[in-house]
Amino acid sequence: MYLQAAEQDALYVIMKSLWGRYADIYSGRTHMFNEMTVDVVQQAIENHRACNNEMLSLLSGLAAGAAIGAHRKWLREALGDLAGKLTSGTSGLNGQACMATTFAVYRTEIELTLY
């Protein structure tokens, strides 16, 4: 079932805020948005949130290290621990990558809901 026009516009605004210019490929097809599209975008938002939480956790840890260390070499002392977390997959540097990754993962699923 297709969404109402206001819902279609709102969903596109959400997609645009989530993926920036990547969402432009849907600008001419908002009239095709339906309940399945909403479900897929919801999954993408949850995935994007998890991705960004990893980055936030990493940055919080670094900021805490800076506050606790409060000296010039706090990062150097944390390098081993930080590198271990990054290589083991415990933490990841995501930021802009979250946008591109979630778009790449969910683009095909969104496309399939339009037909």
Q: What is the pTM of this model?
A: 0.68
Tell me the three-class secondary structure of 14-56, residue by residue.
HHHHHHHHHHHHHHHHHHHCEHHHHHHHHHHHHHHHHHHHHHH
Residues of the chain with pLDDT under 50: 94
pLDDT per residue as tens digits for the range 16-36: 888 988 999 999 999 999 999
Distance CA 61, CA 49 (A): 18
**The predicted structure's pLDDT at residue 113:** 95
Distance CA 26, CA 16 (A): 9
